[in-house]
Amino acid sequence: MASKHTPIIGITLGDVNGIGPEVVIKALADSRILNFFTPVIYGSSRVLSYYKKLLDINDFNYAQVKEEHNFLPKKTNVVNCWEEAVEITPGVENKVGGETAWKALKMASEDLRDGYIDAIVTAPINKANIQSEEFKFPGHTEYFANLFEVSDALMFMVSEQLRVGVVSGHVPLSEATGKVTKKALEHYLTAMEQSLKLDFGIAKPRIAVLGLNPHAGEEGLLGDKEEKVIKPVVTDFKKHGKLFFGPFPSDGFFGSKEYKKYDAVLAMYHDQGLIPFKSLSFGNGVNFTAGLPVVRTSPDHGTAYSIAGKNEASEDSMRTAIMTALDIVKNRRETAR
């Protein structure tokens, strides 16, 4: 089982034709990182060897796991999730990338569920080519929510500059409005506050809530979700001593840097939260799935096929995702004492 002293962090390779393998190798190339946790890469030593040679990265070393779940401390461990040789074609979206990404994700998430690793960091997948009879989810967030039987886990984007959660995640914009309900707002605000306390060590979180419509509805002139749904929920939480504020017009809120006054922001739909987040934090942001009984993070970028295999991908977001997972594991251990 996972050590209660040195955390064991599982890392999936994602799509082998994207930048996942490159950013994983670069993030773990500095051996000093092994003093803080034991990394376990789920994927293939052949893929790692291919990219190590292609990118001419000599500082990256690893040990293949010979016995199941026998992870060596002070080493980067590699679990081979498939035995057959696969053709690696950097920058090409194809069936191989999806099938191998699923094999790695499945094995790593099962080890996470069974307690052999303390957290999981997922490299980017292609949401289209990974679809199969076994994987029918819009993305990692929904997959982990289903696996751990959590209804509506919170997609929580975090960085040093900003933390943003969204009410409606990977759904068409035409469906986003219908997701903004009293029940959903109460659920996500509660999940966000609990995560800020448990995972980030903030005793009394201040949370800003954005409006759905332009100018937060302009008192009903441009829509009534704010007056009928959002504002009453925020007001009710305030009556119970919560430091929740809003709804704020999203354009002015970010334009005036109002976000700096709060520990986190709840946006109503995906792009409302992620466009400002990535504008402010791209390259060092992390996607954290809050509300799960386990710890899961990922970098804030995709497969980036256009630069795959060209030694141009930055490992900063992957490294931050790994260290964020480590911090959250430690915070949860402290809370559990």
pLDDT band for position 176 (50/70/90)? Answer: confident
Q: Which residue has the higher pLDDT, 120 or 85?
A: 120
Q: Which is higher by pLDDT, 63 or 221?
A: 63
Residue 281: what pLDDT? Answer: 87
C-alpha closest to that of 7 among 73, 100, 53: 73
Does the pLDDT of residue 63 top 90, yes or no? yes
pLDDT at 38 over 80: yes
SS3 track for 133-197: CCCCCCCHHHHHHHHCCCCCCEEEEECCCCEEEEEECCCCHHHHHHHCCHHHHHHHHHHHHHHHH
Can you tell me the distance from the alpha carbon of 173 to that of 178, in angstroms, rounded to the nearest whole number? 10
Read off the pLDDT of each residue in 216-241 and give the average, rounded to a whole number: 82
The answer to whether the CB of 212 falls within 8 A of the CB of 167 is: no
Q: Which CATH number fits domain 1-150+292-337: 3.40.718.10, 3.10.20.30, 3.90.1150.10, 3.40.50.1820?
A: 3.40.718.10
pLDDT score recorded for residue 237: 96
Q: Is the pLDDT of residue 218 over 90?
A: no
Distance from C-alpha of 230 to C-alpha of 210, rounded to nearest angstrom? 9
Tell me how far apart the alpha carbons of residues 61 and 72 are, in angstroms, rounded to a whole number. 13
**What are the structure tokens assigned to 231, written together?**
């504002």
What would the pLDDT profile of 107-143 be if each residue is shown by its tens digit?
Answer: 999 999 999 999 999 999 999 999 999 999 989 989 9
pLDDT score, position 101:
97
Eight-state DSSP code of residue 108: H
pLDDT number for residue 69 = 93
Least confident of 13-22, 35-44, 221-230, 287-296: 221-230
Residue 283: pLDDT band by 50, 70, 90 thresholds? confident
Instruction: Kindly report, residue by residue over 286-307, the tens digit of the pLDDT.
Output: 999 999 999 999 998 999 999 9
pLDDT, one tens digit per residue, over 245-279 is 999 999 999 999 999 999 999 999 999 999 999 99
Task: Kindly report the CATH number that applies to the domain delimited by 155-283.
Answer: 3.40.718.10
Burial class (CB in 10 A: 0-12, 13-18, 19+), 84: exposed
Amino acid at 60: F
What percent of the chain has a predicted confidence (pLDDT) above 70?
Answer: 96
Q: Is the pLDDT of residue 2 over 60?
A: no
Equal fold, 1-150+292-337 vs 155-283: yes
Compare 106 and 217 and report the one with higher pLDDT. Answer: 106
Confidence category of residue 220, pLDDT binned at 50, 70, 90: low
DSSP codes joined into one string, 60-81: ---EE--STT-PPTTS-EEEES
pTM for this prediction: 0.90
Please name the helix (run of DSSP H) or strand (run of DSSP E) that holds residue 12, with its range, or none: strand 8-12
Mean pLDDT, rounded, of the chain: 92
DSSP 305: G
pLDDT number for residue 4 = 61
Share of the chain above pLDDT 90, in %: 81
Q: Which secondary-structure segment (H or E) carries 288?
A: strand 286-290
Domain definitions of the chain by residue range: 1-150+292-337, 155-283
Please report, for the chain, how many H helices and E strands are present, in that order: 11, 12
pLDDT higher than 60, residue 48: yes
Rounded to whole angstroms, the Cα distance separating 59 from 152 reads: 41
Statement: residue 217 has pLDDT above 60: no
